[in-house]
Structure 1
Amino acid sequence: MNEQDRPRTPIWRAIATALRHEISEGRYGPGDKLPTEATLAARFGVNRHTVRRALADLVETGLVRTRRGSGAFVAAVPAQYPIGQRVRFHENLLAAGRIPHKRMFLVETRAATVAEAETLALAPGGAVCACHGLSLADGVPIAVFESVFPLPRLAGIDAALGETSSVTEALRRVGIPDYTRAATRLTAVLADATQALHLEIRQGDPLLYATGVNVDGQGVPVEYGRTWFCGDRVTLTVEG
Protein backbone atom coordinates (compact mmCIF):
# COMPACT_ATOMS: atom_id res chain seq x y z
CA MET A 1 0.00 0.00 0.00
CA ASN A 2 1.50 3.35 -1.00
CA GLU A 3 1.15 6.59 0.94
CA GLN A 4 -1.81 7.82 -1.14
CA ASP A 5 -3.82 4.62 -0.52
CA ARG A 6 -3.55 4.73 3.27
CA PRO A 7 -6.72 5.77 5.12
CA ARG A 8 -6.46 9.20 6.68
CA THR A 9 -7.70 10.21 10.11
CA PRO A 10 -10.58 12.71 9.80
CA ILE A 11 -9.51 16.21 10.83
CA TRP A 12 -12.28 16.46 13.43
CA ARG A 13 -11.07 13.28 15.09
CA ALA A 14 -7.48 14.55 15.20
CA ILE A 15 -8.73 17.74 16.90
CA ALA A 16 -10.76 15.71 19.42
CA THR A 17 -7.68 13.59 20.18
CA ALA A 18 -5.55 16.72 20.72
CA LEU A 19 -8.11 18.17 23.13
CA ARG A 20 -8.39 14.86 25.01
CA HIS A 21 -4.62 14.86 25.45
CA GLU A 22 -4.63 18.41 26.78
CA ILE A 23 -7.40 17.59 29.26
CA SER A 24 -5.56 14.46 30.43
CA GLU A 25 -2.41 16.55 30.95
CA GLY A 26 -4.35 18.93 33.20
CA ARG A 27 -4.34 21.95 30.92
CA TYR A 28 -8.09 22.11 31.51
CA GLY A 29 -9.64 20.93 34.77
CA PRO A 30 -13.21 19.93 35.71
CA GLY A 31 -15.53 22.85 35.06
CA ASP A 32 -13.00 24.77 32.98
CA LYS A 33 -14.25 26.37 29.79
CA LEU A 34 -12.58 25.29 26.57
CA PRO A 35 -11.56 27.89 23.98
CA THR A 36 -14.39 29.09 21.75
CA GLU A 37 -15.18 27.41 18.45
CA ALA A 38 -13.72 30.43 16.64
CA THR A 39 -10.49 30.22 18.63
CA LEU A 40 -10.13 26.48 18.05
CA ALA A 41 -10.93 26.90 14.35
CA ALA A 42 -8.17 29.48 14.05
CA ARG A 43 -5.73 27.34 16.03
CA PHE A 44 -6.23 24.22 13.90
CA GLY A 45 -6.79 26.07 10.62
CA VAL A 46 -10.24 24.61 9.97
CA ASN A 47 -13.81 25.84 9.81
CA ARG A 48 -16.09 25.98 12.82
CA HIS A 49 -18.19 23.06 11.58
CA THR A 50 -15.14 20.79 11.89
CA VAL A 51 -14.47 22.04 15.42
CA ARG A 52 -18.13 21.51 16.31
CA ARG A 53 -17.88 17.89 15.18
CA ALA A 54 -14.79 17.36 17.37
CA LEU A 55 -16.53 18.85 20.41
CA ALA A 56 -19.59 16.68 19.76
CA ASP A 57 -17.33 13.63 19.94
CA LEU A 58 -16.02 14.75 23.35
CA VAL A 59 -19.59 15.33 24.53
CA GLU A 60 -20.64 11.84 23.40
CA THR A 61 -17.89 10.24 25.50
CA GLY A 62 -18.81 12.31 28.57
CA LEU A 63 -15.56 14.26 28.72
CA VAL A 64 -17.10 17.61 27.79
CA ARG A 65 -20.50 19.23 28.24
CA THR A 66 -21.91 22.22 26.40
CA ARG A 67 -24.21 25.03 27.46
CA ARG A 68 -26.20 26.92 24.85
CA GLY A 69 -24.77 30.39 24.55
CA SER A 70 -21.98 29.69 27.05
CA GLY A 71 -19.63 27.27 25.31
CA ALA A 72 -18.00 23.92 26.09
CA PHE A 73 -16.77 22.88 29.54
CA VAL A 74 -14.72 19.98 30.87
CA ALA A 75 -17.11 17.57 32.56
CA ALA A 76 -14.54 15.15 33.94
CA VAL A 77 -10.84 14.45 34.04
CA PRO A 78 -9.14 11.05 33.70
CA ALA A 79 -8.72 8.98 36.85
CA GLN A 80 -5.15 8.88 38.12
CA TYR A 81 -3.98 5.26 38.14
CA PRO A 82 -0.46 4.56 39.42
CA ILE A 83 1.31 1.44 38.17
CA GLY A 84 4.04 0.24 40.50
CA GLN A 85 4.97 -2.75 42.62
CA ARG A 86 1.70 -2.62 44.57
CA VAL A 87 -1.06 -2.30 41.97
CA ARG A 88 -4.50 -2.49 43.58
CA PHE A 89 -7.54 -1.46 41.51
CA HIS A 90 -9.82 -0.48 44.40
CA GLU A 91 -7.09 1.28 46.39
CA ASN A 92 -5.85 3.23 43.37
CA LEU A 93 -9.27 4.62 42.50
CA LEU A 94 -10.26 5.35 46.09
CA ALA A 95 -7.01 7.28 46.50
CA ALA A 96 -7.94 9.29 43.40
CA GLY A 97 -11.33 10.13 44.91
CA ARG A 98 -13.26 7.80 42.61
CA ILE A 99 -15.72 5.00 43.42
CA PRO A 100 -14.35 1.69 42.05
CA HIS A 101 -16.42 -1.19 40.75
CA LYS A 102 -15.70 -4.35 38.77
CA ARG A 103 -18.20 -6.22 36.62
CA MET A 104 -17.27 -9.84 35.91
CA PHE A 105 -18.30 -11.24 32.53
CA LEU A 106 -16.85 -14.73 32.73
CA VAL A 107 -14.70 -16.95 34.96
CA GLU A 108 -13.42 -19.98 33.05
CA THR A 109 -10.88 -22.79 33.34
CA ARG A 110 -8.90 -23.75 30.25
CA ALA A 111 -5.48 -24.74 28.98
CA ALA A 112 -2.80 -22.05 29.07
CA THR A 113 -1.55 -20.54 25.83
CA VAL A 114 2.16 -20.84 25.12
CA ALA A 115 2.77 -17.27 26.32
CA GLU A 116 0.66 -17.75 29.47
CA ALA A 117 2.41 -21.00 30.38
CA GLU A 118 5.82 -19.39 29.97
CA THR A 119 4.83 -16.28 31.96
CA LEU A 120 3.23 -18.25 34.80
CA ALA A 121 5.99 -20.89 34.92
CA LEU A 122 3.59 -23.70 33.96
CA ALA A 123 4.09 -26.82 31.88
CA PRO A 124 2.89 -26.32 28.28
CA GLY A 125 -0.90 -26.51 28.19
CA GLY A 126 -1.16 -26.35 31.98
CA ALA A 127 -4.53 -25.49 33.50
CA VAL A 128 -5.36 -21.85 34.21
CA CYS A 129 -8.32 -19.89 35.50
CA ALA A 130 -9.14 -16.81 33.42
CA CYS A 131 -11.55 -14.07 34.43
CA HIS A 132 -12.85 -11.44 32.03
CA GLY A 133 -14.54 -8.23 33.05
CA LEU A 134 -14.99 -4.48 33.06
CA SER A 135 -13.54 -1.91 35.49
CA LEU A 136 -15.53 1.22 36.29
CA ALA A 137 -14.86 4.49 38.12
CA ASP A 138 -17.89 6.42 39.38
CA GLY A 139 -20.01 4.15 37.21
CA VAL A 140 -18.09 5.02 34.03
CA PRO A 141 -16.29 2.18 32.18
CA ILE A 142 -12.53 2.75 32.17
CA ALA A 143 -11.00 -0.60 31.25
CA VAL A 144 -11.62 -4.11 29.94
CA PHE A 145 -9.47 -6.75 31.62
CA GLU A 146 -8.48 -10.41 31.55
CA SER A 147 -6.63 -11.96 34.50
CA VAL A 148 -5.08 -15.44 34.23
CA PHE A 149 -4.14 -17.55 37.27
CA PRO A 150 -2.17 -20.85 37.49
CA LEU A 151 -4.64 -23.48 38.72
CA PRO A 152 -2.10 -26.10 39.82
CA ARG A 153 -0.64 -23.51 42.20
CA LEU A 154 -3.88 -21.78 43.23
CA ALA A 155 -6.49 -24.50 43.72
CA GLY A 156 -9.91 -22.95 44.33
CA ILE A 157 -9.15 -19.57 42.72
CA ASP A 158 -11.97 -20.14 40.21
CA ALA A 159 -14.52 -20.59 43.00
CA ALA A 160 -13.15 -17.57 44.87
CA LEU A 161 -13.43 -15.37 41.79
CA GLY A 162 -16.98 -16.56 41.33
CA GLU A 163 -17.78 -15.15 44.78
CA THR A 164 -15.84 -11.87 44.75
CA SER A 165 -14.83 -9.35 42.10
CA SER A 166 -11.67 -8.50 44.07
CA VAL A 167 -8.52 -10.23 42.86
CA THR A 168 -6.79 -9.35 46.13
CA GLU A 169 -9.54 -11.02 48.15
CA ALA A 170 -9.68 -14.06 45.84
CA LEU A 171 -5.93 -14.57 46.18
CA ARG A 172 -6.15 -14.19 49.95
CA ARG A 173 -8.77 -16.94 50.07
CA VAL A 174 -6.42 -19.38 48.33
CA GLY A 175 -3.45 -18.64 50.56
CA ILE A 176 -1.77 -15.62 48.95
CA PRO A 177 -1.93 -12.86 51.57
CA ASP A 178 0.08 -10.36 49.55
CA TYR A 179 1.54 -9.95 46.09
CA THR A 180 3.56 -7.41 44.11
CA ARG A 181 3.96 -6.44 40.47
CA ALA A 182 7.08 -7.95 38.93
CA ALA A 183 6.74 -6.46 35.44
CA THR A 184 4.50 -4.15 33.43
CA ARG A 185 4.43 -3.40 29.73
CA LEU A 186 2.44 -0.58 28.10
CA THR A 187 1.56 -0.19 24.43
CA ALA A 188 -0.96 1.82 22.42
CA VAL A 189 -3.66 -0.05 20.49
CA LEU A 190 -7.00 0.66 18.84
CA ALA A 191 -10.29 -0.58 20.29
CA ASP A 192 -11.91 -3.53 18.56
CA ALA A 193 -15.69 -3.83 18.25
CA THR A 194 -16.21 -5.72 21.53
CA GLN A 195 -13.97 -3.42 23.55
CA ALA A 196 -15.71 -0.38 22.08
CA LEU A 197 -19.10 -1.82 23.05
CA HIS A 198 -18.13 -2.38 26.69
CA LEU A 199 -16.23 0.91 27.06
CA GLU A 200 -18.96 2.89 25.28
CA ILE A 201 -16.54 4.32 22.75
CA ARG A 202 -16.06 3.97 19.00
CA GLN A 203 -14.26 1.09 17.34
CA GLY A 204 -10.78 2.34 16.48
CA ASP A 205 -10.56 4.77 19.41
CA PRO A 206 -7.19 4.73 21.23
CA LEU A 207 -6.61 2.40 24.18
CA LEU A 208 -3.64 1.86 26.48
CA TYR A 209 -2.84 -1.86 26.61
CA ALA A 210 -1.08 -2.98 29.79
CA THR A 211 0.26 -6.45 30.53
CA GLY A 212 1.60 -7.31 33.96
CA VAL A 213 2.84 -10.18 36.09
CA ASN A 214 2.12 -10.36 39.82
CA VAL A 215 4.20 -12.57 42.11
CA ASP A 216 3.87 -13.85 45.68
CA GLY A 217 6.36 -13.24 48.51
CA GLN A 218 8.74 -15.86 47.10
CA GLY A 219 8.68 -14.34 43.62
CA VAL A 220 6.47 -17.08 42.15
CA PRO A 221 3.98 -15.84 39.50
CA VAL A 222 0.34 -15.84 40.66
CA GLU A 223 -1.34 -13.68 38.03
CA TYR A 224 -0.83 -12.63 34.43
CA GLY A 225 -3.04 -9.65 33.64
CA ARG A 226 -4.06 -7.92 30.45
CA THR A 227 -5.90 -4.60 30.65
CA TRP A 228 -7.18 -2.31 27.93
CA PHE A 229 -7.60 1.18 29.42
CA CYS A 230 -9.79 3.83 27.79
CA GLY A 231 -7.15 6.39 26.80
CA ASP A 232 -9.09 9.53 27.70
CA ARG A 233 -10.49 8.27 31.02
CA VAL A 234 -7.34 7.09 32.77
CA THR A 235 -3.92 8.65 33.31
CA LEU A 236 -1.39 5.90 34.00
CA THR A 237 1.55 6.87 36.21
CA VAL A 238 4.51 4.49 36.32
CA GLU A 239 6.04 4.43 39.79
CA GLY A 240 9.60 3.37 40.52
Structure 2
Amino acid sequence: MARTPVWKSIAIALTDDIAQGRYGTGGKLPPEAQLSARFGVNRHTVRRALADMAEQGLVHARRGAGVFVAAKPADYPIGKRVRFHQNLARAGRTPAKKVLMLETRAAGAHEAEALALTPGDPVHVYDGLSFSDGQPIALAQAVFPAALLPGLCGALAEDSSITNALRHCGVEDYTRLETRITAKLATATQALHLRIAEGAPVLRTTSVSVDTNGTPVEFGRTWFAGDRVTLTVGGDG
Protein backbone atom coordinates (compact mmCIF):
# COMPACT_ATOMS: atom_id res chain seq x y z
CA MET A 1 0.00 0.00 0.00
CA ALA A 2 1.35 3.43 -1.00
CA ARG A 3 2.42 5.67 1.86
CA THR A 4 1.01 9.17 2.24
CA PRO A 5 3.65 11.74 1.20
CA VAL A 6 5.12 13.63 4.15
CA TRP A 7 4.05 17.01 2.74
CA LYS A 8 0.48 15.73 2.47
CA SER A 9 0.52 14.57 6.09
CA ILE A 10 1.69 18.04 7.13
CA ALA A 11 -1.10 19.67 5.10
CA ILE A 12 -3.68 17.39 6.74
CA ALA A 13 -2.31 18.15 10.22
CA LEU A 14 -2.37 21.91 9.64
CA THR A 15 -5.86 21.73 8.14
CA ASP A 16 -7.00 19.91 11.29
CA ASP A 17 -5.39 22.66 13.39
CA ILE A 18 -7.50 25.21 11.50
CA ALA A 19 -10.65 23.08 11.84
CA GLN A 20 -10.08 22.83 15.61
CA GLY A 21 -9.77 26.60 15.88
CA ARG A 22 -6.10 26.64 16.80
CA TYR A 23 -5.57 29.17 14.03
CA GLY A 24 -8.62 31.34 13.34
CA THR A 25 -9.71 32.95 10.10
CA GLY A 26 -7.20 35.66 9.23
CA GLY A 27 -4.73 34.27 11.77
CA LYS A 28 -1.07 33.74 10.95
CA LEU A 29 0.48 30.28 10.81
CA PRO A 30 3.86 29.69 12.48
CA PRO A 31 6.89 30.56 10.33
CA GLU A 32 8.47 27.92 8.10
CA ALA A 33 11.39 27.38 10.48
CA GLN A 34 9.03 26.60 13.35
CA LEU A 35 6.91 24.26 11.21
CA SER A 36 10.06 22.51 9.96
CA ALA A 37 11.11 21.87 13.54
CA ARG A 38 7.63 20.68 14.55
CA PHE A 39 7.38 18.10 11.78
CA GLY A 40 11.07 17.22 11.54
CA VAL A 41 11.39 18.11 7.85
CA ASN A 42 13.15 20.69 5.72
CA ARG A 43 11.57 23.96 4.62
CA HIS A 44 11.00 22.70 1.07
CA THR A 45 8.61 20.02 2.40
CA VAL A 46 6.77 22.59 4.51
CA ARG A 47 6.44 24.89 1.49
CA ARG A 48 4.97 22.05 -0.56
CA ALA A 49 2.32 21.47 2.12
CA LEU A 50 1.49 25.18 2.36
CA ALA A 51 1.30 25.46 -1.43
CA ASP A 52 -1.21 22.59 -1.52
CA MET A 53 -3.33 24.29 1.15
CA ALA A 54 -3.17 27.55 -0.79
CA GLU A 55 -4.38 25.78 -3.95
CA GLN A 56 -7.39 24.58 -1.97
CA GLY A 57 -8.12 28.09 -0.72
CA LEU A 58 -7.37 27.33 2.93
CA VAL A 59 -4.43 29.72 3.35
CA HIS A 60 -2.81 32.59 1.50
CA ALA A 61 0.67 34.08 1.65
CA ARG A 62 1.48 37.76 2.09
CA ARG A 63 4.89 38.71 0.77
CA GLY A 64 7.21 39.45 3.66
CA ALA A 65 4.45 38.84 6.24
CA GLY A 66 3.84 35.09 6.29
CA VAL A 67 1.01 32.63 5.63
CA PHE A 68 -2.50 33.35 6.90
CA VAL A 69 -5.66 31.30 7.30
CA ALA A 70 -8.14 32.07 4.52
CA ALA A 71 -11.09 30.08 5.78
CA LYS A 72 -12.04 27.65 8.50
CA PRO A 73 -13.68 24.41 7.33
CA ALA A 74 -17.44 24.84 7.62
CA ASP A 75 -19.41 22.93 10.23
CA TYR A 76 -22.15 20.93 8.50
CA PRO A 77 -24.73 19.34 10.82
CA ILE A 78 -26.04 15.89 9.88
CA GLY A 79 -29.42 15.24 11.45
CA LYS A 80 -33.04 14.49 10.67
CA ARG A 81 -33.53 17.78 8.85
CA VAL A 82 -30.54 18.56 6.65
CA ARG A 83 -31.03 21.73 4.60
CA PHE A 84 -27.96 22.89 2.68
CA HIS A 85 -28.69 26.62 2.57
CA GLN A 86 -29.79 26.76 6.22
CA ASN A 87 -26.75 24.84 7.41
CA LEU A 88 -24.23 27.15 5.78
CA ALA A 89 -26.16 30.33 6.51
CA ARG A 90 -26.15 29.44 10.22
CA ALA A 91 -22.37 29.07 10.01
CA GLY A 92 -22.07 32.55 8.49
CA ARG A 93 -21.26 31.23 5.03
CA THR A 94 -22.75 32.12 1.64
CA PRO A 95 -24.24 28.99 0.04
CA ALA A 96 -24.69 28.33 -3.67
CA LYS A 97 -25.53 25.37 -5.90
CA LYS A 98 -24.87 24.42 -9.51
CA VAL A 99 -26.96 21.81 -11.30
CA LEU A 100 -24.68 19.45 -13.22
CA MET A 101 -27.29 17.09 -14.63
CA LEU A 102 -30.99 16.25 -14.45
CA GLU A 103 -32.33 13.04 -15.97
CA THR A 104 -35.05 10.43 -15.66
CA ARG A 105 -33.88 6.83 -15.98
CA ALA A 106 -34.41 3.31 -14.67
CA ALA A 107 -33.61 2.68 -11.00
CA GLY A 108 -30.67 0.44 -10.17
CA ALA A 109 -31.03 -2.31 -7.60
CA HIS A 110 -29.56 -0.30 -4.71
CA GLU A 111 -31.61 2.80 -5.55
CA ALA A 112 -34.78 0.74 -5.86
CA GLU A 113 -34.20 -0.89 -2.47
CA ALA A 114 -33.63 2.47 -0.79
CA LEU A 115 -36.78 3.98 -2.31
CA ALA A 116 -39.00 0.89 -1.91
CA LEU A 117 -39.26 0.51 -5.69
CA THR A 118 -38.74 -2.32 -8.16
CA PRO A 119 -35.46 -2.28 -10.14
CA GLY A 120 -36.16 -0.65 -13.47
CA ASP A 121 -38.85 1.69 -12.12
CA PRO A 122 -38.34 5.29 -13.33
CA VAL A 123 -36.45 7.68 -11.08
CA HIS A 124 -35.45 11.32 -11.36
CA VAL A 125 -31.72 11.90 -10.77
CA TYR A 126 -30.14 15.20 -9.76
CA ASP A 127 -26.37 15.73 -9.83
CA GLY A 128 -25.16 18.98 -8.32
CA LEU A 129 -22.17 20.87 -6.96
CA SER A 130 -22.46 22.82 -3.70
CA PHE A 131 -20.41 25.90 -2.81
CA SER A 132 -19.54 27.74 0.39
CA ASP A 133 -18.32 31.32 -0.05
CA GLY A 134 -17.64 30.54 -3.70
CA GLN A 135 -15.55 27.46 -2.95
CA PRO A 136 -16.78 23.98 -3.99
CA ILE A 137 -17.34 21.81 -0.92
CA ALA A 138 -19.53 18.91 -2.03
CA LEU A 139 -20.76 16.84 -4.96
CA ALA A 140 -24.25 15.47 -4.54
CA GLN A 141 -26.47 12.95 -6.30
CA ALA A 142 -30.13 12.69 -5.29
CA VAL A 143 -32.52 10.05 -6.65
CA PHE A 144 -36.30 10.45 -6.44
CA PRO A 145 -39.26 8.15 -7.30
CA ALA A 146 -40.58 9.53 -10.62
CA ALA A 147 -44.11 8.15 -10.29
CA LEU A 148 -44.57 9.85 -6.92
CA LEU A 149 -42.95 13.15 -8.00
CA PRO A 150 -43.68 13.59 -11.72
CA GLY A 151 -42.89 17.31 -11.90
CA LEU A 152 -39.67 17.28 -9.90
CA CYS A 153 -37.16 17.67 -12.77
CA GLY A 154 -38.94 20.78 -14.02
CA ALA A 155 -38.99 22.26 -10.53
CA LEU A 156 -35.28 21.56 -10.03
CA ALA A 157 -34.45 23.09 -13.41
CA GLU A 158 -36.00 26.36 -12.20
CA ASP A 159 -34.77 26.20 -8.59
CA SER A 160 -31.80 24.08 -7.47
CA SER A 161 -33.24 23.82 -3.94
CA ILE A 162 -34.40 20.24 -3.32
CA THR A 163 -36.60 21.43 -0.45
CA ASN A 164 -38.42 23.90 -2.72
CA ALA A 165 -38.71 21.37 -5.54
CA LEU A 166 -40.23 18.76 -3.23
CA ARG A 167 -42.64 21.33 -1.84
CA HIS A 168 -43.64 22.18 -5.42
CA CYS A 169 -44.51 18.49 -5.83
CA GLY A 170 -46.63 18.40 -2.68
CA VAL A 171 -44.03 17.22 -0.14
CA GLU A 172 -44.31 19.90 2.54
CA ASP A 173 -41.84 18.29 4.93
CA TYR A 174 -39.34 15.43 4.88
CA THR A 175 -36.77 14.02 7.27
CA ARG A 176 -33.76 11.75 7.03
CA LEU A 177 -34.54 8.21 8.02
CA GLU A 178 -30.85 7.34 8.25
CA THR A 179 -27.43 8.69 7.28
CA ARG A 180 -24.20 6.76 6.83
CA ILE A 181 -20.77 8.41 6.66
CA THR A 182 -17.80 6.73 4.97
CA ALA A 183 -14.27 7.98 4.29
CA LYS A 184 -13.25 7.73 0.62
CA LEU A 185 -10.55 8.95 -1.75
CA ALA A 186 -11.51 11.39 -4.49
CA THR A 187 -11.75 10.03 -8.02
CA ALA A 188 -10.33 12.05 -10.91
CA THR A 189 -13.77 13.43 -11.80
CA GLN A 190 -14.66 14.30 -8.21
CA ALA A 191 -11.28 15.99 -7.76
CA LEU A 192 -11.87 18.11 -10.88
CA HIS A 193 -15.23 19.37 -9.64
CA LEU A 194 -14.08 19.94 -6.04
CA ARG A 195 -10.74 21.44 -7.09
CA ILE A 196 -8.75 19.03 -4.97
CA ALA A 197 -6.08 16.47 -5.78
CA GLU A 198 -7.06 13.05 -7.05
CA GLY A 199 -6.89 10.67 -4.09
CA ALA A 200 -7.52 13.46 -1.56
CA PRO A 201 -9.80 12.49 1.34
CA VAL A 202 -13.56 12.94 0.91
CA LEU A 203 -16.41 12.10 3.24
CA ARG A 204 -19.32 10.33 1.59
CA THR A 205 -22.75 10.46 3.20
CA THR A 206 -25.52 8.09 2.08
CA SER A 207 -29.04 8.85 3.22
CA VAL A 208 -32.73 8.06 2.77
CA SER A 209 -35.35 10.73 3.37
CA VAL A 210 -39.05 10.11 3.96
CA ASP A 211 -42.17 12.28 3.93
CA THR A 212 -44.53 12.68 6.89
CA ASN A 213 -46.21 9.37 5.98
CA GLY A 214 -42.90 7.49 6.07
CA THR A 215 -42.76 7.10 2.26
CA PRO A 216 -39.21 7.31 0.83
CA VAL A 217 -38.87 10.43 -1.33
CA GLU A 218 -35.10 10.75 -1.75
CA PHE A 219 -32.03 8.54 -1.84
CA GLY A 220 -28.98 10.77 -1.60
CA ARG A 221 -25.24 10.46 -1.78
CA THR A 222 -22.92 13.39 -1.13
CA TRP A 223 -19.13 13.59 -1.36
CA PHE A 224 -17.70 16.35 0.85
CA ALA A 225 -14.17 17.72 0.42
CA GLY A 226 -12.65 16.31 3.59
CA ASP A 227 -10.61 19.35 4.55
CA ARG A 228 -13.31 21.94 3.85
CA VAL A 229 -16.20 20.55 5.86
CA THR A 230 -16.56 19.25 9.41
CA LEU A 231 -19.58 16.96 9.62
CA THR A 232 -21.31 17.20 12.99
CA VAL A 233 -23.85 14.68 14.24
CA GLY A 234 -26.63 15.35 16.73
CA GLY A 235 -29.84 17.30 17.03
CA ASP A 236 -32.18 17.93 14.12
CA GLY A 237 -29.46 19.30 11.82
TM-score range, shorter chain: over 0.9
In the alignment, is residue 238 of structure 1 matched against residue 233 of structure 2? yes
In the alignment, is residue 203 of structure 1 matched against residue 171 of structure 2? no
Match in the other structure for 1:219: 214
Cα distance in 2 for residues equivalent to 1:71 and 1:139: 24
Match in the other structure for 1:148: 143
Q: Deviations along 1:73-131, whole A, 9 cap, x unmatched? A: 11111112111111001111111111111100110001111110000000122110001
Cα distance in 1 for residues equivalent to 2:2 and 2:168: 50
Cα distance in 1 for residues equivalent to 2:96 and 2:48: 32
Cα distance in 1 for residues equivalent to 2:232 and 2:98: 24
Shift of 1:184: 0.4
Aligned length, in residue pairs: 235
Cα distance in 1 for residues equivalent to 2:145 and 2:135: 31
Q: Deviations along 1:47-68, whole A, 9 cap, x unmatched? A: 1111111111111111011122
In the alignment, is residue 61 of structure 1 matched against residue 56 of structure 2? yes
Cα distance in 1 for residues equivalent to 2:16 and 2:108: 36
In the alignment, is residue 30 of structure 1 matched against residue 14 of structure 2? no
3-state SS of 1:143 partner = strand
Cα distance in 2 for residues equivalent to 1:25 and 1:214: 31
Identity %: 62
Q: Deviations along 1:129-159, whole A, 9 cap, x unmatched? A: 0010100111111101100001121121122
3-state SS of 2:136 partner = strand
Match in the other structure for 2:122: 127
Tell me which of 175, 189, 203 is aligned to 1:194. 189
3-state SS of 1:22 partner = helix
- In structure 1, the gaps of 5 or more residues are 1-5
In the alignment, is residue 96 of structure 1 matched against residue 91 of structure 2? yes
Letter in 2 for 1:44: F
3-state SS of 1:115 partner = helix
Tell me which of 163, 167, 172 is aligned to 1:168. 163
Mapping 1:173-188, distance limit 5 Å: 173-188=168-183
3-state SS of 2:10 partner = helix
| TM-score (ref. length: structure 1) | 0.95
Cα distance in 2 for residues equivalent to 1:200 and 1:10: 19
CA RMSD of aligned residues (A): 1.0
Match in the other structure for 1:8: 3
Q: Deviations along 1:5-38, whole A, 9 cap, x unmatched? A: x322211111111111111122211011111111
Cα distance in 1 for residues equivalent to 2:2 and 2:100: 34
Cα distance in 2 for residues equivalent to 1:40 and 1:226: 37
Letter in 2 for 1:232: D
Cα distance in 2 for residues equivalent to 1:142 and 1:55: 19
In the alignment, is residue 74 of structure 1 matched against residue 39 of structure 2? no
Runs of 4+ in 1 over 3 A off after TM superposition: none
